[in-house]
Structure 1
Amino acid sequence: MTSHDPRPDGHPPLPEQANPSWMGHVPEQNYRPAPANYAGRPQATLPPAIPAPSSRRRRGRRSAGGGLGLFVAGAVLVFADLFLVLTFVLANTGVAGFAIGFVASLLPLGSVLLAVYVIDRWEPEPKRLLLFAFVWGAVVSVALTLLLQPPFSLAAGPASGLDEQTFSETLAAPVVEEFAKSLGLLLLLLFARKHFDGPVAGVVFAFTVAGGFAFTENVLYFGRAFSGSGNPATNVAVVFLGRGVMSPFAHAIFTASTGVVLGFAARRGSTGLCLLAFIAGLVPAVLLHSSFNTVSQDFPARYIFVQVPIFVAAVLVIVLLRRAQNRLTRQRLQEYAAAGWFTSAEVQMLGTGRGRSWALLWARSIGRGPQMKAFLRAATRLAFTRQRILSGRDVPAQQLDEKHQLAKVAALRDAVLRR
C-alpha cells in the first residue's frame, strides 16, 4: 500500500515502497518511522563514490546470546546419540570401509557447504547455530531415523498395501528422515527465533542440516560398497557417481522446502503458526524425497526430465529469495537514511552486491578491511531488526536491540574512517 493520507490511527502514512517485495510485506497497522538521528546526519560518504560498472565481467552478528541454550542442549543430544550412530555405521562398513566412506563423503559435503557459504554471505548466521544444524543432521537426525523407522514401518507398512522395499523407499524413509531432519529446523526456529528470521535463513539452516545427514548416510553407503564385495574400487566409484556427483544436493533440496515454509512462518512470529508450518513444510519435502527414491525406475529419463528440472527450480527459487532479501535490506536502510543515520551513497553501497564489493576493496586498500566487513554486517543486521519491528514481533525488545545496533553502526563507521 502507498498513501499520502494520514492513517485512521493518526500515524503518518506509509512511505513510498514501504513494501519493497513480497518477502518484506508490512501490515499497515505495524508501520512506524525509523528513530531520528539527533546527533546529525553523517557527513562523510564511505567509501568514495562507487565506480560505474565496466563492460568486463566481474570475477567472482548477530548477538552472542541467542541460541546458546539450544547449542548446549544439542551437545547433550549428540553425546547421547553418537554411540548409536557410530555403532550402526561401523557394523555395516567395518573400520576400513568407514575410513574410505568418510574420506569420499567429504567431497559432496564440501559442495553443499560451499553453497551454504554463498547463500549466507549477505547476512551470515551465527557459526554456533550452523554447527548445531550440521551436527543435528549428521548425528541426531540419523539416530532418530534409526529409532523411529522400525516402529513406523511396523505400524504403517501393512496398511499401505505396498511390498516392503517399495514401502521403505517411497514412504518410510522419506517420512521418517524428513521429520528427523526438519525437527532440528523447528528447534532452531523456536529457540533461536532472532536468527531464523526468513526464508533465506531457512534455506541456510536446512542445507546445513541436510548436509550433515547426507554426510553420515554417504559414509554408510560408500563404506558398505567398499566392504561388501570383491571389487570394492568399482563399487565405490559407482555409488559415488550416483550420490556424490549426480545428486549431492538431493537431501539439501528436500529439507530446504521445509526451511522455506518455516522461514515465512517466522516472519509472522506466532508459535502456533510455526508448528503448523512445520507440518505443512514436511509435505513437499516428503514428496520430493519419495520422487527421488524412485529415480532408478526408468533411469535415465526420470533423472533427466524430473530430477534435473527440480534441481534447476530449486536454484531459481534460491536466487529469487536472495534478490528479494537484497531489495528488502536496501529499502529498510533507506528508511534509516531518511531518519539521518546513513547517506544515500551509503545505502547504495550497503544495499547492492556491487557496492559491497567496492566498499571492501576500498577499505582493504587503506588497511581497514575488517572494520568495513563488520560495518557491512552490522548494517544488514540493523535492516533485518527493523523488518522484525515492522512485522509486529516482540517490538519493545527489538527496539532496544535497534538502539544498540544504531550505536554500533555509528561506532563502526568511525572505526573505518578513524575520525
Structure 2
Amino acid sequence: MATCPPYPTHPTGPAGPGDGALRHAHWWQKRWVRYGALSTLLALSGLVILALVREQTGTEGFLVGLGLAVLPVPLLVASFRWLDRVEPGPWRNLVFSFAWGACAAALIAIIANSFATQWIATATADPSHADTLGATVIAPVVEETAKAAALLLVFLFRRQDFTGIVDGVVIAGVTATGFAFTENILYLGTAFGTDQLTGDSGIASVTAATFFVRIIMSPFAHPLFTVLCGIGFGAAALSGERQHARRVLLPLLGLLLAMGMHAMWNGSSSFGEYGFFAVYAAFMVPAFGLLTWMVIWTRQRELRTVREELPAYVVAGWLSPGEPFVLGSMRARRVARQYARGRGGRVAAREVARYEAYATSLAFLRHRGRRGRAGADFVGRERELLRELWRRREIARPALEHAAATAQPWPGHGYGYGASAPAPWQPYGQAPGAVQRPAYGPVYGGPAHDPAYGPVAPYPVNNPYRT
C-alpha cells in the first residue's frame, strides 16, 4: 500500500511579479523589522505611561489602583475570546491589541486630553467649563481615535486574520479593555490618594465609590464604545475589494457612533442628579444587550456557514463525511478535542483544535469566494489551508469521526445537516458564464473519481482574481 504524503502536491505556477520584489525588499520592509519597531514603540509607551500614572497617584496609590483595576480584565478578555471560538484569531493579535490600548492609546489620550483642556482653559479663562468640554467633546474624540488605530493596524497588516464582524468586535473589545485597565489605575489611584488626605475609608470613601462605578457597574463601558467601531471595520472586511466607499465609510461611521456614545456617557453627570443612572439604564444597558445578542447571532451564522460550505470539500476527498457537522457545532468540536486529549494527550488535542480552526477558515474563504469577495490570494490561501488540514488528518479524523457518532444524532446523508450532497461542480454565485476551476484534491488516498484533482467549485469568469 502506498504511503500517504504529509500533504498533497499541487501544480506550481509561474512566479508572480511581486516574487522578486519580496526577495529584494529593503531592510525596513522586512517583517522582523516592523515587528521589532512596533514592540519597541509599545514598550516605550508603557514605560512613559507607567511613569506618568505613578507621578499622579504616588507609589502606594498606583499599587492600589493596579490591584483593583486588574479584577475585570480576565473576565472581559475571556468573554471576547469566547466569542472568537468559531475561528480563533492568533493570540499575538490579542496581545498587541491589549498592549496598544493599555500603553499607546492611553499615552496619546493623557497627553492630548491634558493639552486640549489646558488650551481651552487658557482661551476661555474658565477652568470648570474647560473640564466639562474636555470630558464630553475632546476625550471621546481623542480616546476613540487612539483605540481605533489598533483596529486599523490589524485590518491593514493582518488582513487574513480580520475577516468579519466578530473579528472586529474581538480586536476592538480587547483594545478597549487594555485602555480601561490603564485608565482605571489612574482613577482608582487618584481616589485612594484623596482618601489618604481626607482620612476617609470604608464604603463612604472615594475609592469605594470609584470602584463601584467603574469596576462593578460599568466595566464594559469602554469596550462597548469601541466595539461600535469594530463592527464598522468588520462590515468593511465583508465588503468586496472594489467597494472602496464602503470599506472607508463603514469604519468611519462606527468611529462616529463610538464617539457619540462615549460623549453621552461622559456628559451624563451634567444631566442632573440622576443623569448618570438615567443614561446607564436607558442607553448603556440596552446597547450592551443588543450588541451581545448581535455578536452571538453572528457567531451562530458563522457555524451555519461552516456546515454549508465544507461539504464541497467532502466531495473532493479532503474531508470525511461527518466533518462538516462536527466543525459546525461547538459542542461536537469540544467532544472531538476531549477524545483526542484522552487518546493522545494535550498535543493531540491542540492539533485537533488547529485542524478545526483551519477548516473554519477554509469555509469562510470559500464563502467569500462564492459571493465574489475573494481576494487576489484566494488560490494560494486555499492551498495553504488544505495543506494544513492534510498534515493533521491522521490525528484529527478519528476524533472528528468519534464526535460525529456520539455528539448527537444526525441524518445519514454524510453532511450533517440533512441536505443531500452538493454537486461536484457548484458555481460561485450567479455569475453568467462561470468556468470550472480545479481544486486541489489529495494525490494518494483521494476520491476515486479523480485521484489528482478533486473538483470543489468553479470560479466565476468575471472575477478579476481568477487564475
TM-score higher than 0.5: yes
Q: 2:104 maps to what in 1?
A: 140
**How many Å apart are 1:178 and its aligned residue?**
0.3
Question: Which secondary structure does the structure 2 equivalent of 1:300 belong to?
Answer: helix
Instruction: State the match for 1:193 in structure 2.
Output: 159
Show the 5 A alignment for 1:392-407. 392=372, 395-407=375-387
Q: What's the CA shift for 1:410? A: 2.2
What is the DSSP-based 3-state SS (H/G/I as helix, E as strand, rest coil) of the residue aligned with 2:218? coil
Given residue 256 of structure 1, which amino acid in structure 2 is its aligned partner? V
CA contact (8 A) 2:116 2:134 kept: no
Quick one: structure 1 residues 76 and 219, their matched pair in 2 at CA, closer, same or farther if it must change by over 3 Å?
A: same
Deviation at 1:211, TM superposition (A): 0.6
Question: What are structure 2's unaligned runs of at least 5 residues?
Answer: 1-6, 10-29, 399-444, 446-467
Aligned to 2:284, the other structure's residue is in SS state helix
Shift of 1:288: 1.3
- Inter-partner Cα distance in structure 2 for 1:114 and 1:106: 13
- The 5 Å alignment of 1:177-192 reads 177-192=143-158
- Aligned pair count reads 356
Indicate how the Cα distance of structure 1 residues 120 and 293 shifts in structure 2: closer, same or farther if over 3 A, else same.
same
Q: Identify the residue that residue 337 of structure 2 maps to in structure 1.
A: 360
The alpha carbon displacement at 1:392 in A equals 4.9
Which residue of 2 is the match for residue 211 of structure 1?
A: 177
Deviates more, 1:204-213 or 1:294-303: 294-303
Shift of 1:123: 1.3
Contact 1:67 1:129 (C-alpha < 8 Å) held by counterparts: no
Q: Is the 8 A contact 1:67 1:191 kept in 2?
A: no
> In structure 1, what residue type is equivalent to 2:177?
G
- Assess, with a 3 A threshold, how the Cα gap between structure 1 residues 363 and 224 changes in structure 2: closer, same or farther: same
Q: CA distance change for structure 1 residues 335 and 153 in 2, over 3 Å: closer, same or farther?
A: farther
Q: Which residue of 1 aligns with 2:465?
A: none
The answer as to whether partners of 2:236 and 2:250 remain within 8 angstroms in 1 is yes
CA RMSD in angstroms, aligned pairs only: 2.9
TM-score (norm 2): 0.70
Residue 325 of structure 1 pairs with residue 332 of structure 2: no
Please, which of 55, 60, 72 is the counterpart of residue 108 of structure 1? 72
Question: For 1:143-171, what per-residue CA distance to the aligned partner results, in whole angstroms no more than 9, with x for missing partners?
Answer: 11123335555788979x99323312221
Q: Which residue of 2 aligns with 1:342?
A: 319
Deviation at 1:242, TM superposition (A): 0.5
In structure 2, relative to structure 1, the CA distance for the partners of 1:70 and 1:187 (3 Å cut) is: farther
Higher relative contact order, structure no. (Cα contacts within 8 Å, ≥ 6 residues apart): 1
Which of 258, 280, 297 is residue 229 of structure 2 equivalent to?
258
CA distance in 2, matches of 1:121, 1:68: 28
Label 1:73 to 1:332 Cα distance change in 2 as closer, same or farther (>3 A). farther
Match in the other structure for 1:408: 388
Contact 1:70/1:191 (8 A) holds in 2: no
Amino acid at match of 2:259: V
1:82 aligns with 2:31: no
Alignment-derived partner of residue 46 in structure 1: none
State whether residues 117 and 131 of structure 2, in contact with CA within 8 Å, keep that contact through their aligned partners in structure 1: no
What is the aligned partner in structure 2 of residue 27 from structure 1? none
Moved more, 187-196 or 297-306: 297-306
Aligned counterparts of 1:70 and 1:264: Cα–Cα separation in 2: 27
Equivalent residue runs for 1:4-43 within 5 Å: none
TM-aligned CA deviation for residue 210 of structure 1: 0.3
Task: Give 2:93's match in structure 1, choosing from 115, 118, 129.
Answer: 129
The separation in 1 between residues aligned to 2:33 and 2:172, in whole angstroms, is 20
Q: 1:276 Cα shift?
A: 3.2
Q: 1:81 to 1:366 in 2, by over 3 A?
A: closer
- Aligned-residue offset at 1:399: 1.1
The aligned amino acid for 1:293 is N
- Code of the aligned partner of 2:388: K
Residues 154 and 231 of structure 1, relative CA distance in 2, 3 Å threshold:
closer
Asked if the contact 2:365/2:374 (under 8 Å) is kept, the reply is no
Tell me if structure 2 keeps the 8 A contact 1:71–1:132.
no
Partner amino acid, structure 2, of 1:332: E
CA deviation profile, 1:364-388 (whole Å, cap 9, x unmatched): 3333423322221221122233244
1:383 aligns with 2:356: no
CA distance in 1, matches of 2:108, 2:228: 20
Match of 1:12 in 2: none
For 1:412, the aligned partner's letter is R
Once the two structures are superposed, residues 130-154 of structure 1 have per-residue CA deviations (whole angstroms, 9 ceiling, x without a partner) of: 1111110000001111233355557
Counterpart contact for 1:327–1:351, Cα < 8 Å:
yes
**TM-score, normalisation: structure 1:** 0.77
How do 1:260-339 residues align onto structure 2 when only pairs under 5 Å count? 260-268=231-239, 269=241, 273-296=246-269, 297=271, 298=274, 299-339=276-316
Larger CA Rg, structure 1 vs 2: 2
CA 1:223–1:362 in structure 2 vs 1: closer, same or farther (change >3 Å)? same
CA apart distance, 1:236:
1.9
SS in 2 for 1:283: helix
CA contact (8 A) 2:8 2:387 kept: no
1:231 alignment partner in structure 2: 200
The worse-fitting range, judged by mean Cα deviation, of 262-271 and 208-217 is: 262-271
Question: Cα distance 1:374–1:341, how it changes in 2: closer, same or farther (>3 A)?
Answer: same
